[in-house]
Amino acid sequence: RLPDDVSRTKYQAFRRLDEDRMKFWKVALGSVTVMPLRFCGFIGALLLNLCTFTVLEKFITNDVTKNKITRAVMRVCISTTYRLGLYCAGIKIREHDCGTNPRTMTSGTIVANHVSMFDICYFIWSVRPSFVAKESINRTPLLGAAARALSCIFVDRLSKEARYKSADNLQARQQNPPPGVPLLVFPEGTTSNGCNLLPFKRGSFLAMQPVTPVVLFYESADFDMSYEVLPTLTWL
């Protein structure tokens, strides 16, 4: 727990918001009853889908038309899986459209605040965008196939030259977006509690192209869904 004089400063975005309302008995009861079933359902669907991606990727050839069909099937599969994941997590979605609806976008750039691991589940289900991902994901079995199906931009953070090249690739993608594949960027570069914005990284805006902003907010009576300071296993 952060001291009050500190929590009001630059660390406010990382403060837990459920300290006074979390009901530990409900969390404990749910962790041994509902959670195992939902978790197994989500993981099972995810593994099945990732295996499907790996198989479908073998059918990608030099035939552009066949590649489009294969990638379209892969994108529908991943969208369905992550919608199932949101359902298994008990997340109900409410969308408030204040202008351009991201779900109708076929290209362009979406910028959003990053609150939870479920942010990605929502966007993959609703928009099926490409992301900026770590190079290690490209080499990861199963996950790499899913990332390539979404036409992700891979970044090697350990190499300065590779980072510059990735920035150039990002600008090129924004200036000449492929049809049907919008680009999603989290300009804060990390997660917060969803009630405060962190300074944006400049790389998302160097191309000087229009972007569509999306604000994510999670409401829960007992447990805050934000992934800011808790260790991963504790959060799960």
Q: Is residue 102 part of a domain?
A: yes
Q: Is residue 10 part of a domain?
A: no
Q: What is the pLDDT of residue 64?
A: 47
**Inter-CA distances, 192 with 1, 17, 92, Å:** 15, 11, 21
Q: In what order do the strands lie in the sheet with 211-214?
A: 183-185, 109-112, 211-214
Q: Is 211 helix (H, G, I), strand (E, B) or coil?
A: strand
Q: Is residue 2 part of a domain?
A: no
pTM given for the model:
0.75
H helices of 150-226, in order, are 160-175
Return d(Cα 183, Cα 12) in angstroms, integer.
29
**Inter-CA distances, 195 with 113, 209, 216, 223, 224, Å:** 10, 27, 10, 15, 11
Return d(Cα 212, Cα 55) in angstroms, integer.
34
Structural domain boundaries, residue 127: 18-235
Q: Could you tell me if 138 and 154 are in contact, meaning their C-beta atoms sit under 8 angstroms apart?
A: yes
Ranges under pLDDT 70 in the chain: 1-11, 13-14, 17-22, 60-67, 98-107, 142, 221, 223, 227-236
Q: What is the pLDDT of residues 68-104, one digit of tens each?
A: 777 777 777 878 888 888 888 788 888 887 666 666 6
Q: Could you tell me if 110 and 214 are in contact, meaning their C-beta atoms sit under 8 angstroms apart?
A: yes
Return d(Cα 75, Cα 72) in angstroms, integer.
5
Q: Is residue 129 part of a domain?
A: yes
Q: What is the pLDDT of residue 52?
A: 76
Return d(Cα 191, Cα 206) in angstroms, integer.
22
Structural domain count, the chain: 1
Q: What is the pLDDT of residue 104?
A: 63
Q: Is residue 181 part of a domain?
A: yes
